[in-house]
């Protein structure tokens, strides 16, 4: 990251995150359309869920390295849906100062 002493905007953070994604699955993780747990995988992709989990882990590591002082993690939360609780996971970037951004 070139701007270590400057405060980045959400759009700049988003650009950095998307630059780290390699392929449509990793872009979908950042967008939140795929689940970090792999539970949204269907068909043949479900058979390769271990590889998708490795891919997600590598994406998170690249995002953490690219963002430097900005914290980057996968946030897990249990939310009620109907009679059951569902676990949602989202990518969260924590600026050195201010509120975290959920992607």
Using the predicted structure, report yes or no on whether residue 84 has a pLDDT greater than 70. yes
pTM of this structure: 0.82
Q: Which of 12-16, 58-62, 76-80 shows the lowest mean pLDDT across its residues?
A: 76-80
In a domain, 14, yes or no: yes
Domains held by the chain: number: 1
In a domain, 51, yes or no: yes
Domain containing 92 equals 10-102
In a domain, 72, yes or no: yes
The pLDDT assigned to 2 comes to: 52
Mean pLDDT of all residues in 64-71: 91
Model confidence over 71-81: pLDDT tens digits? Answer: 899 988 888 87
The pLDDT assigned to 78 comes to: 83
pLDDT-derived band at 5 (thresholds 50, 70, 90) equals low
E-strand ranges in 1-103 read: 71-81, 84-94, 101-102
Q: What are phi and psi of 73, to 5 degrees?
A: -150, 170
Residue partners of 56: CB distance under 8 A and separation at least 6: 26, 29, 36, 38
In a domain, 56, yes or no: yes
Q: For 56-75, b where at least 16 C-beta lie within 10 A, e where not — what string?
A: beebbebbeeebeebebebe
In a domain, 60, yes or no: yes
In a domain, 32, yes or no: yes
In a domain, 20, yes or no: yes
- Beta-carbon count within 10 A of 50 CB: 9
In a domain, 4, yes or no: no
Using the predicted structure, report yes or no on whether residue 3 has a pLDDT greater than 80. no
The continuous run of DSSP H or E covering 20 comes out as helix 10-20
């Amino acid at each position: 990251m070139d701007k270590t002493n400057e405060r980045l905007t959400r759009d700049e953070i988003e650009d950095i995150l998307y630059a780290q994604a390699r392929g449509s699955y990793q872009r979908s993780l950042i967008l939140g359309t795929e689940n970090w747990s792999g539970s949204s995988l269907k068909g043949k992709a479900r058979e390769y869920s271990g590889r998708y989990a490795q891919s997600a882990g590598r994406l998170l590591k690249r995002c953490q390295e690219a963002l430097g002082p900005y914290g980057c993690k996968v946030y897990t939360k249990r939310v009620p849906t109907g009679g059951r609780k569902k676990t949602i996971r989202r990518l969260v970037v924590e600026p050195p100062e201010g509120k975290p951004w959920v992607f």
